[in-house]
Structure 1
Amino acid sequence: MTMTPAQPHFATRLNSFALGGGVAHPKTRTPTLDLVEIAGTVAGLTALEVNYPEHFVDTTPAELSAAIKNAGLVNTGIQVRWPAAEFSDGGFTHPSAEVRTAAAQIAKDAVDVCREMGSDHVILWPAHDGYEYPFQMDYRSAWEHLVECYGEVADHAGDITVSIEYKPAEPRARTLLSTTGSVLALIAETGRDNLAVTLDIAHMLMAHENPAQSIAVCLAQGRLKGLQLNDGWGAADDGLATGSVNLVQTLEACFYLLRDGYAGTYYFDTDPVRENPVRECETNIARTKQLLAIARRLADGGRVPNPDAMEGATVWWDALVRQ
């Protein structure tokens, strides 16, 4: 299946299918290929994005590619998860050049796996590049290390896009890349054309950003490659179903995604701990399709955005409530 803005891919977090029944951290690990098989039963799902190295410890890229294809899905990206045991004190920002080199090598290895699996997108979540206390991090040298490491990985990637998924906190108390603007500033300083942004709704809410605004700015700069849909209350990365808390903000985000030409995957980064994961994923897909349809009508109608807040509110209110 070829992805187009009119018919995008819907992908999801493979680990969601290992949750459920109130268990957030299962004692036993579900084999990767079993998770892929479950994902293949989700109505409307067209793609998967898998974690490196996590999802390759019990299978090979060739075996995983075949399993994804057999499930009727495609692979749209590789997401890097640096092992906490080795990088809990930082990856690209670690004071040790040896640790930074090891962190960059994992990202490069993920690029190689991505190429082997026929995908074109590697997503880097710098989970450990942060700090807890004042005077703990040398912010200037840490920033310089980020520029150096991301540039090195981008050069290795070549024709593969490497996008950065920021998060303001968790597992660190604070992160160096904590806002959309900080990621765009980093990309600008590296000067690499194949560096891009992946935006996560819950992460933007944690950073007190308006998702639609961040999306619009990234699209205007041609830097939005990935989108992770979910929802939350804003204090933490809740991983709730799409549109379940911040419905209007999610609709506005969809509006700008459609109006300004987002052509990437709609990826659901949710945590159905107490919900049936297949049903939860199908709900995400159905809701997103509905919101995209409403957003398309709003974009075609030309009545929003509107500097008259009450007049504009009538338009989106009617689109959501009165139909």
Structure 2
Amino acid sequence: MPPVKYSTRLNSFALGTGRKLPTGDEPVLDLIATAGTVPGLTSLELNYPEHFEKAPLEDIKAALGKAGLDVPALQLRWPASRFSNGAFTNADAEIRAEAVQMVIEAIDLCASFGADHVLLWPAHDGYEYPLQMDYTKSWAWMVESLRTVADHNPAIRVSIEYKPADPRGRTILNTTGAVMALVNDTDRPNVGVTLDFGHLLMARENPAQSAAMCLQSGKMFGLQLNDSHGAADDGLMVGSIHLSETIELAYYLIREGYAGTYYFDTDPVRENPVEECAMNIARMGSIIEMARTLVRDHPELPTGHALDSAPILWETVMGEKWNTTASV
């Protein structure tokens, strides 16, 4: 079994002491050096073009090497205000072409790192008002754009990270089913899905069910881990609110053979970001071991009956047998 790769977002190391967002002035090379101090962290996924506008590429690669971190993927961020009305779904064909070109640049840069994965977050591909977005035309533009970037280098996987809202009031890709429909319509083997735990909760979806759907079709290319209270993208530490759901997600990842990176998309607003990342790694390591135990020792799962499966989960988490004869 290959070792688990743990990755995280570089911007997390610019937070703490009450800051929700980085200022944008933080030296990228310093943030990489800080990330290199996290015990157990193996990787970083940098944002394009954001992080590459602040330091020369060779300096970034040298800093990563010194920190002992590899780059399994790049994450595309279409900047506002140029793309605030959409990237692949923008009604302006010139802006759509610029959005495609940015992804092509990210794909070429990804290949230069020896990586094979570019993640797209269509943050601005949405709407606020009735009759604002032409849903059918926008869908066709998105399919056309995805085919173009996928065909640029078929050896590089391109995945879509959906979010039901924020910063837009609604997005055109608001559920796992919608993203899978887009992937199917695009019909390219190197186009798939990245699931974000907090985004799934915002959409009132069950992360394990969404992962099972994407894994079954061979289209789950990436995973972003965090936790939240469900109403917003809180970016809390892994397993801090929805522990059982996180364990169930890990169960399906292990059972179905997920071989991708375990990436932490969290916001240590008031916490020390190095310690927070280390805690995410330790927690997820324990959760993965629990999932391996469930897959190995309990082939009867899922049982179809809550009163059969619940004691197994309890024993796995708590390390003690559930006493069914205890009085309430």
TM-score by length of 1: 0.97
Please tell me whether residue 32 in structure 1 is matched to residue 28 in structure 2.
yes
RMSD of aligned residue pairs (Cα, Å): 1.0
Question: What's the counterpart of residue 303 of structure 2?
Answer: 306
Choose the corresponding residue for 1:190, options 174, 177, 186.
Answer: 186
Q: Please list the CA deviations of residues 137-194 of structure 1 after superposition, one character each: whole Å capped at 9, or x if unmatched.
A: 1100000011001111111132000011000000001000111111111111111110
- 1:152-231 equivalences under 5 Å are 152-231=148-227
Residue 237 of structure 2 aligns to a residue whose secondary structure is: coil
* Matched position secondary structure for 1:86: coil
Q: Distance in 1 between matches of 2:52 and 2:22?
A: 19
- Asked if 2 retains the 8 angstrom alpha-carbon contact of 1:303 and 1:315, the reply is no
Given candidates 285, 288, 292, the residue that maps to 1:289 is: 285
The alignment status of 1:122 with 2:121, answered yes or no, reads no
Matching of residue 54 in structure 1 with residue 50 in structure 2: yes
Correspondences of 1:253-264 after superposition (within 5 Å): 253-264=249-260
Give the SS at the match of 1:48: strand
Partner AA of 2:180 in structure 1: L
The answer to whether the Cα contact below 8 Å between 1:52 and 1:110 also exists between their aligned partners in 2 is yes
Say if 2:316 is the partner of 1:319: yes
Cα distance in 2 for partners of 1:100, 1:49 equals 25
Equivalent residues of 1:259, 1:299 under 8 A apart:
yes
| Gap regions ≥5 residues in structure 1 | none
Structure 1 Cα separation of the partners of residues 23 and 151 of structure 2 = 39
For residue 274 of structure 1, what is the aligned residue in structure 2? 270
For residues 96-123 of structure 1, the C-alpha deviation after alignment (integer angstroms, 9 at most, x for no partner) is 1001001111111110110111111000
- Secondary structure of 1:196 counterpart: strand
Residue 63 of structure 1 and its aligned partner are, at CA, apart by 2.1
Q: Which amino acid aligns with 1:81?
A: R
CA distance in 1, matches of 2:180, 2:19: 36
The whole-number CA distance in structure 1 between the counterparts of 2:64 and 2:157 is 21
**Retained in 1: the 8 A contact 2:16–2:269?**
yes
Once residues 311 and 61 of structure 1 are traced to their aligned partners in structure 2, the CA distance between those partners, rounded to angstroms, is 55
- C-alpha separation between the residues in 1 aligned to 2:188 and 2:122? 18
Tell whether the 8 Å contact from 1:65 to 1:75 is kept in structure 2 after alignment. no
SS of 2:74's partner is strand
| TM-score calculated relative to the size of structure 2 | 0.95
Q: Is the 8 A contact 1:62 1:117 kept in 2?
A: no
Structure 1 segment 32-181 matched on structure 2, within 5 A: 32-181=28-177
Output the CA distance in 1 between the equivalents of 2:264 and 2:95. Answer: 31
Are the counterparts in 1 of residues 11 and 22 from structure 2 also a CA contact under 8 Å?
no
| Unaligned 5+ runs, structure 2 | 321-328
Question: How far apart in 2 are the matches of 1:258 and 1:12?
Answer: 20
Instruction: Report the Cα offset of residue 303 of structure 1.
Output: 3.4
Distance 2:57 2:142 in 1: 28
1-structure distance, mates of 2:220, 2:243? 22
Total equivalences in the alignment: 319
